[in-house]
């Protein structure tokens, strides 16, 4: 993808539109930026592979339907000065569907398994930024609280007994949406911090699986070096100290308790523990079969990917320690 100049231009447009919306507070301009983002992302998804093309069409269909509904609601919001609460509630539902949030998560789980790791990374992280920012403009508290519970419970049940790595990370992403929504309810700066941190951790993991060409747990036979590094990525995403994933959840929990969302806090922690159990099971696969070699292993002539991966992991650990010290001070 990165060797294709046309796709690089589309990637630049996609990222620029996302950055632009961060400084906007207008519904119509935000909607326009969201459409520019969509039409620049679709060419990046294009592939001659049948399954990837089918996933691209499903993604385009869902996003387009939601965008049309949001545009109609914006027009209605201008014309009808009364009963805006119902309009905002429907708009919240449309944005939740764009996010892939429960109970509108089925399309997201269906398409991620057919995507390559680069597209999976963008769908699971970068493409969630714009809907989440628009959702923070005006959200229905009861609806978002219900969505938090749904995301926590569905991710907890769906991640168990999965053999697809992308589905495991997909349900983990649904779980992370509940934490992002909770951050949005308490502090917008906390939401920005959580989004960036989660994106950084997912970049680590997606690069690793791209490097080894892994898509299923039964492909874990050939991890024979730097096992601790690979394990630490899952520990960080699972939220264990002293990694960066623990820091972002710890700070979020503090804000939740300050706002007296005690029951919500318990549900989110319990769902995160189940997700952590799934990650530990994945790590068990690493340790059990790490001495075998399989034919799908990609041999690299140099260790550039491994060095980048290692540097990102060290930066993550260093940031976690420094930010923990700053937070305690």
pTM (whole model) above 0.95: no
Q: Is 125 helix (H, G, I), strand (E, B) or coil?
A: coil
Check residue 298 and give its pLDDT: 46
Expressed in angstroms, the distance from the first to the final Cα of the chain is 44
Check residue 6 and give its pLDDT: 82
H helix intervals, 100-140: 106-112, 117-124, 129-137
Q: Which two tokens stand for residue 89?
A: 């509630």
Q: What angle is formed at CA 129 by the lines to CA 68 and CA 318, rounded to 5 degrees?
A: 170
Q: What is the DSSP string of 222-286?
A: G--S-HHHHHHHHHHHHT-TTSHHHHHHHHHHHHHHHTT-HHHHHHHHHHHHHHHHHHHHHHHHH
Range(s) of the domain holding residue 196 = 5-328
User: Tens place of pLDDT for every residue, the chain, 329 residues?
Assistant: 555 778 888 999 999 999 888 877 788 999 999 999 999 999 999 888 888 889 999 999 999 999 999 999 998 887 766 677 888 899 999 999 999 998 899 999 999 988 999 999 999 999 999 999 999 888 889 999 999 999 999 998 998 888 888 999 999 999 999 999 999 998 888 888 899 889 988 988 888 888 878 888 777 655 555 555 666 777 888 887 777 888 888 889 989 988 888 899 999 999 998 898 888 877 776 666 654 444 444 444 445 555 555 555 555 555 555 555 454 44
Q: How many domains does the chain have?
A: 1
Q: Which two tokens stand for residue 228?
A: 């601790």
Query: What does the alpha-carbon distance between residue 160 and residue 13 come to, in Å, rounded to a whole number?
Result: 37
Query: What does the alpha-carbon distance between residue 138 and residue 56 come to, in Å, rounded to a whole number?
Result: 30
23 Cβ contact partners less than 8 Å away, ≥ 6 residues apart: none
Q: Distances in Å between the alpha carbon of 187 and those of 28, 59, 138, 259, 289?
A: 24, 30, 14, 10, 43
Check residue 297 and give its pLDDT: 45
Supply the DSSP symbol for 138: S
Check residue 308 and give its pLDDT: 53
Q: Is 216 helix (H, G, I), strand (E, B) or coil?
A: strand
Which of 139-144's residues contact partners 24+ apart within 8 Å by CB, and which partners?
A: 139/88, 139/92, 139/184, 139/185, 140/85, 140/88, 140/89, 140/92, 141/185, 143/89, 143/92, 143/93, 144/92, 144/181, 144/184, 144/185
Query: What does the alpha-carbon distance between residue 203 and residue 195 come to, in Å, rounded to a whole number?
Result: 12
71 Cβ contact partners less than 8 Å away, ≥ 6 residues apart: 31
């Amino acid at each position: 993808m990165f060797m294709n100049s046309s796709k690089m231009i589309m990637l630049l447009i996609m990222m620029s539109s996302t950055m632009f919306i961060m400084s906007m507070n207008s519904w119509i301009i935000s909607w326009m930026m969201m459409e520019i983002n969509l039409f620049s992302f679709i060419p990046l998804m294009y592939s001659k592979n049948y399954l990837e093309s089918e996933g691209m069409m499903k993604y385009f269909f869902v996003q387009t339907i939601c965008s049309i509904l949001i545009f109609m609601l914006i027009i209605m919001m201008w014309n009808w000065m009364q009963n805006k609460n119902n309009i905002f509630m429907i708009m919240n539902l449309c944005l939740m569907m764009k996010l892939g949030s429960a109970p509108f998560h089925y399309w997201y789980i269906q398409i991620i398994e057919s995507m390559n790791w680069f597209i999976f990374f963008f769908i699971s992280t970068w493409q969630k930024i714009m809907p989440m920012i628009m959702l923070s403009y005006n959200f229905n508290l009861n609806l978002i609280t219900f969505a938090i519970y749904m995301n926590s419970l569905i991710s907890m049940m769906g991640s168990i007994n999965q053999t697809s790595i992308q589905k495991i990370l997909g349900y983990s992403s649904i779980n992370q949406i509940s934490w992002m929504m909770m951050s949005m309810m308490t502090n917008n700066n906390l939401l920005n911090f959580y989004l960036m941190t989660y994106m950084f951790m997912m970049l680590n993991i997606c690069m690793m699986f791209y490097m080894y060409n892994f898509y299923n747990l039964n492909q874990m036979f050939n991890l024979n070096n730097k096992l601790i590094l690979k394990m630490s990525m899952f520990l960080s995403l699972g939220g264990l100290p002293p990694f960066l994933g623990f820091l972002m959840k710890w700070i979020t929990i503090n804000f939740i308790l300050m706002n007296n969302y005690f029951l919500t806090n318990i549900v989110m922690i319990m769902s995160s523990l189940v997700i952590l159990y799934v990650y530990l099971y994945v790590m068990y696969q690493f340790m059990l079969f790490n001495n075998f070699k399989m034919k799908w292993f990609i041999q690299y002539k140099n260790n550039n990917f491994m060095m980048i991966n290692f540097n990102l992991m060290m930066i993550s650990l260093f940031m976690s320690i420094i930010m923990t010290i700053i937070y305690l001070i």
